[in-house]
């Protein structure tokens, strides 16, 4: 089936992006800048906090700078050093090859959302897409306010959302989702140029600087542990704070949030980049394990390639959906599938006392292994 370009002419939307995190906002901005009509639907209202370690790999810095997507009024922290500790606190330090920077999602997403709005993207906040049905050659999106929207192309950038995945009957939704993510912003005494990843039983916790002398303290833990201990405080006392580095951070820092941000029901299981004709970008296409520290970079990079694939087809004066889907899916696989796989295998090495101690000892003796893992899970800088 072939479409013509029809910016702003009919009620059938050209492009609808579901979800306004990094993948959604960046793809909406890029497509809008290239003359396409874009509607972005976000279930929350900006600005808001979300669970994320907020360390961004430098692989996306040239892209963000060349597209003027970084806020210039904020001084982001530059992170060049990495420390890694076992459950018992055995430590390994090494420089980061690529490095990265820290900025809160509260600031970054709000900045991107305001660019999108100013440049003409139709951003609908506080609106949730509850289902997306493809029929003949377009989509009907059902919104929580009872409205229905018709769209030619839909980008699924709704992150780790379990509800929409269930409505779309995605195969991985039948698998267990045994994780929780917990984030705090803190004030503490910690090197500004370092990111540390501290293991604890059934999880790991990262700490690194963000803007305004604040630090992000974010961990991936186990839902089963939370159930077993009854609440976060009890679970943290029994597991997280058993790592002496984390005990020190938790006991000697000022917690800025009244309550931590918490998410659950997400999975690292493989997903597909195109599902039910929706072009998935960011975590909806696949969530890389947080220890790799580059889920945000992947989301931004996926936004770039999904936008380029769409624009490429429009440039030809028509849209051939089959070719578009195959092209995007192939590019996604080539760029990201191996990185996600290595991330999943690496995560299996931590979380249990024996493997965590062994892995850190092994890496202490051969930093080559740690560097090789970093290389396999990170991409090259692009603009
Ligand atoms: C514990 C933890 C720590 C992490 N630490 C890091 C790190 O330090 N560095 C890093 O690079 N990555 C990290 N990540 C990964 C990173 O947070 C994600 O990969 C990244 O946020 C993905 O961006 P996204 O745009 O795909 O999704 P999100 O940023 O999750 O955005 C999705 C958006 O869609 C909206 N939405 C969801 N459902 C709907 C719906 N039905 N209708 C409308 N809107 C909807 C949501 O409200 C949200 O705003 C971490 C992840 C976890 C779990």
- Nearest atom of ligand 1 to the alpha carbon of 297: 11
What pLDDT is stored for residue 357 in this prediction? 72
Partners of 272 in beta bridges? none
Write down the domain spans for the chain.
2-377
What pLDDT is stored for residue 365 in this prediction? 67
pTM of the model: 0.94
List the structure tokens of 348.
Answer: 């299996």
Could you give the CA distance from residue 205 to residue 173 in angstroms, rounded to a whole number? 26
Residue ranges lining ligand 1, Cβ < 6 Å? 18-24, 41-44, 51-56, 128-129, 157-161, 164, 181, 206, 218, 220, 282-283, 287, 290, 293-297, 299
- Biggest alpha carbon–alpha carbon distance for the chain: 64
What pLDDT is stored for residue 195 in this prediction? 96
Best residue among 299, 302, 377 to mutate for probing ligand 1, ranked by most atoms within 8 Å of CB: 299
- Nearest atom of ligand 1 to the alpha carbon of 285: 26
Dihedral Cα 12, 14, 20, 23, nearest 10 deg: 150
90 alpha carbon – ligand 1 mean position (Å): 31
- Nearest atom of ligand 1 to the alpha carbon of 130: 41
List the structure tokens of 166.
Answer: 């269930």
Q: What CATH number does domain 2-377 carry, 1.10.150.530, 3.30.43.10, 3.40.50.1110, 3.50.50.60?
A: 3.50.50.60
Degrees to nearest 5, angle at CA 101 with 103 and 345: 105
What pLDDT is stored for residue 97 in this prediction? 87
β 319-320/2-3 pair status:
antiparallel
161 alpha carbon – ligand 1 mean position (Å): 9
22 alpha carbon – ligand 1 mean position (Å): 7
What is the residue with the minimal CA distance to atom 5 of ligand 1?
A: 53
What pLDDT is stored for residue 5 in this prediction? 40
Considering Cα of 155, then 158, then 159, then 160, what sign does the dihedral take?
Answer: negative
List the structure tokens of 134.
Answer: 């493809």
Best residue among 18, 19, 60, 222 to mutate for probing ligand 1, ranked by most atoms within 8 Å of CB: 19
45 alpha carbon – ligand 1 mean position (Å): 15
Look at residues 364, 359, 294, 369 and name the one whose alpha carbon lies nearest to residue 87.
Answer: 359
What pLDDT is stored for residue 351 in this prediction? 64
What pLDDT is stored for residue 300 in this prediction? 98
Could you give the CA distance from residue 253 to residue 275 in angstroms, rounded to a whole number? 44
262 alpha carbon – ligand 1 mean position (Å): 12
What pLDDT is stored for residue 12 in this prediction? 87
- Nearest atom of ligand 1 to the alpha carbon of 164: 41
Considering Cα of 261, then 267, then 268, then 274, what sign does the dihedral take?
Answer: negative
**Chain centroid to CA 310:** 22
160 alpha carbon – ligand 1 mean position (Å): 6
b/e burial code for range 202-233 (CB count within 10 A of at least 16 → b): bbbbbbbbbbeebbbbbbbbbeebbeeeeebe
30 alpha carbon – ligand 1 mean position (Å): 19
Q: What is the pLDDT along the chain (383 residues), one digit of tens a residue?
A: 334 343 433 378 999 999 999 999 999 999 999 999 999 999 999 999 999 999 999 999 999 999 999 998 888 889 999 999 999 999 989 899 899 999 999 999 999 999 999 999 999 999 999 999 999 999 999 999 999 999 999 999 999 977 899 999 999 998 888 899 999 999 999 999 999 999 999 999 999 999 999 999 999 999 999 999 999 999 999 999 999 999 999 999 999 999 999 999 888 999 999 999 999 999 999 999 988 879 999 999 999 999 999 999 888 777 789 999 999 999 999 999 999 988 888 888 766 666 777 777 777 666 677 777 777 777 789 99
């Amino acid at each position: 089936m072939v479409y013509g370009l029809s910016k702003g002419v009919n009620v059938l939307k050209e492009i609808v992006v579901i979800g306004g995190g990094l993948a959604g906002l960046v793809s909406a901005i890029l497509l809008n800048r290239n003359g396409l009509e874009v509607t972005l639907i976000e279930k929350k209202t900006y600005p808001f906090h979300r669970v994320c370690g907020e360390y961004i790999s430098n692989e996306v810095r040239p892209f963000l700078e060349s597209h003027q997507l970084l806020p210039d009024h904020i001084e982001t922290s530059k992170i060049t050093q990495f420390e890694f500790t076992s459950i018992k606190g055995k430590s390994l330090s090494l420089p980061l090859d690529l490095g990265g920077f820290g900025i809160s999602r509260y600031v970054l997403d709000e900045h991107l959302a305001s660019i999108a709005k100013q440049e003409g993207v139709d951003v609908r906040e506080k609106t949730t897409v509850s289902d997306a049905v493809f029929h003949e050659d377009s989509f009907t999106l059902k919104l929580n306010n009872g409205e229905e929207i018709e769209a030619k192309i839909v980008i699924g950038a709704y992150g780790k959302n379990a509800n929409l995945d269930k409505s779309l009957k995605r195969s991985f939704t039948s698998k267990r989702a045994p994780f929780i993510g917990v984030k705090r912003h803190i004030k503490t005494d910690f090197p500004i140029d370092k990111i540390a990843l501290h293991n604890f039983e059934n999880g790991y916790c990262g700490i690194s600087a963000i803007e305004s002398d604040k630090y992000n303290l974010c961990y991936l833990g186990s839902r089963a542990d939370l159930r077993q201990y009854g609440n976060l405080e009890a679970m943290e006392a029994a597991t997280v704070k058993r790592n002496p580095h984390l005990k020190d951070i938790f006991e000697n820092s000022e917690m800025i949030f009244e309550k931590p941000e918490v998410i659950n029901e997400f999975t690292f299981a493989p997903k597909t980049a195109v599902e039910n004709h929706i072009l998935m970008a960011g975590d909806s296409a696949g969530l890389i394990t947080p220890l790799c520290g580059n889920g945000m970079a992947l989301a931004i990079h996926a936004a770039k390639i999904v936008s380029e694939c769409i624009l490429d087809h429009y440039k030809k004066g028509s849209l051939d959906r089959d070719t578009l889907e195959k092209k995007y899916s192939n590019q996604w696989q080539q760029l990201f599938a191996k990185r996600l796989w290595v991330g999943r295998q690496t995560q299996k090495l931590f979380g249990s006392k024996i493997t965590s101690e062994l892995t850190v000892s092994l890496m202490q003796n051969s930093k080559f292994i740690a560097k090789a893992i970093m290389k396999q899970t990170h991409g090259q800088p692009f603009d």
